Amino acid sequence: MANPKQCRGRTSRRSLRGASAVLALAVVLAMGAVTTQSAQAQTFTVLYSFTWGSDGAYPYAGLVTDTDGDLYGTTANSGASNYRVVFKLDSGGTETVLHSFTGSSDGGYPYAGLVRDTAGALYGTAAYGGASNYGVVFKVDSGGTETVLYNFTRGTTDGWNPLGGLVRDTLGNLYGTTSGCGSSNYGTVFEVDTGGTETVLHSFTRLDGANPVYAGLLMDQKGNLYGVTSEGGTFSQGVVYKLSKGGTFKVLHSFTGGTTDRVLPLRNSDYGQEHLSLWHYLEMRRLQRGDCVEGEQQRH
């Protein structure tokens, strides 16, 4: 399977860069007595430095933890097959690769973080790979076995390129977004149930938002979903939206691109336009020209 950077003849792709040359996971430990008169002293400790080898590199997303204090995440570069990894960092600072993606049927390029269930299984998305090479929803169980729960087809009914992470409800259903395709070619909000069936809950039309790139979702106690899109809306600068449990979609805010509300929210924390790679930007633009085909199986 070809590397996604070679898709449609494109060979230029920027690496995702951190704030410094050394990539590391770190934790801030609070120390000292807490008083109303002074702030806590803090100590910064590097728990693990990635080597750009089989252990992965560029941990792009956040972490989840278990009751023992072990940390779990993904890397956006490197790995044994160079299609990135799911890793564990134990409380002693030892990193273990739980799954190294091959870019084939198991998926590749997991840019988003993970969600964890009470049995210790981890769930996430990979932007590429899978049966049709358009991304997957995956599970890594407590023993390190990876299972693909859903393969995206880049069709008009299911979307493609899931760059954002997942949320999980009390029944075990998973919810996420795709950055492209869907019925109007501007991305989707989807659900994958416990049986592996995918349902598109909303297809963006550009008027109500477009291309939820690295934006995952938030879920409230009533099951309503909240998210952002990187483009579209009244001013074509992105939106904040709500999708009710009953399926009602509402734009809560359309960004204006002015000096008061900023522009192009790429994820819920507004990660910044500079982190959208050239390849992804060109792919988003291409999808807006209507290249999503129902049931298309073409590989990059």
Q: CB–CB of 174/168 below 8 Å? A: yes
Assign 39 a pLDDT band (cuts: 50, 70, 90): low
Cα 176 from chain centroid?
8
What's the rounded mean pLDDT across residues 214-221? 91
- In the prediction, which pLDDT does 289 show? 45
Question: In this predicted model, what pLDDT tens digit does every residue of 252-290 receive, in sequence order?
Answer: 999 998 767 655 565 443 333 333 443 444 444 554 444
What's the rounded mean pLDDT across residues 126-151? 97
Flag whether 262 is in a domain: yes
| pLDDT surpasses 60 at 130 | yes
- For position 230, which CATH number holds? 2.130.10.10
Which helix (H) or strand (E) is 242 found in, with range? strand 239-243
What's the rounded mean pLDDT across residues 231-240? 95
Tokens linked to 211? 């291309």
Q: CB–CB of 135/162 below 8 Å? A: yes
* pTM of the full structure: 0.79
DSSP for residue 244: -
Listing DSSP states for 165-212 in one string gives: --EE-TTS-EEEEESBBSTTSB-EEEEE-TTS-EEEEEE--BTTBB--
- In the prediction, which pLDDT does 262 show? 58
Flag whether 43 is in a domain: no
Flag whether 87 is in a domain: yes
| pLDDT surpasses 50 at 15 | no
Assign 299 a pLDDT band (cuts: 50, 70, 90): very low
> What is the spatial distance between Cα 192 and Cα 284, in angstroms, rounded to a whole number?
23
Q: What are phi and psi of 128, to 5 degrees?
A: -135, -175
Q: CB–CB of 195/215 below 8 Å? A: no
- In the prediction, which pLDDT does 215 show? 77
What's the rounded mean pLDDT across residues 199-209? 97
Cα→Cα distances 68→45, 61, 64, 90, 121, Å? 19, 21, 12, 8, 15
> What is the spatial distance between Cα 22 and Cα 16, in angstroms, rounded to a whole number?
13
- In the prediction, which pLDDT does 264 show? 55
What's the rounded mean pLDDT across residues 169-173? 97
Q: What are phi and psi of 7, to 5 degrees?
A: -60, 130
Q: Which domain holds residue 152?
A: 52-288
| pLDDT surpasses 90 at 84 | yes
Flag whether 157 is in a domain: yes
Flag whether 16 is in a domain: no
Tokens linked to 51? 């080597």
- In the prediction, which pLDDT does 292 show? 72
Flag whether 98 is in a domain: yes
Q: CB–CB of 187/179 below 8 Å? A: yes
Pairing mode of beta strands 198-203, 218-219? unpaired
Assign 129 a pLDDT band (cuts: 50, 70, 90): very high
| pLDDT surpasses 70 at 207 | yes
> What is the spatial distance between Cα 139 and Cα 162, in angstroms, rounded to a whole number?
15
Task: Read off the amino acid at residue 2.
Answer: A
Longest dimension (CA), the chain: 64
Pairing mode of beta strands 218-219, 167-168? unpaired
Flag whether 93 is in a domain: yes
Tokens linked to 266? 């790429």
- In the prediction, which pLDDT does 41 show? 86
Neighbouring CB atoms inside 10 A of 56's CB total: 26
DSSP for residue 40: P
Flag whether 33 is in a domain: no
Average pLDDT, the chain: 81
- In the prediction, which pLDDT does 156 show? 82
How many domains does the chain fold into? 1
Q: Name the percent of the chain lying above pLDDT 90.
A: 69
Assign 155 a pLDDT band (cuts: 50, 70, 90): confident
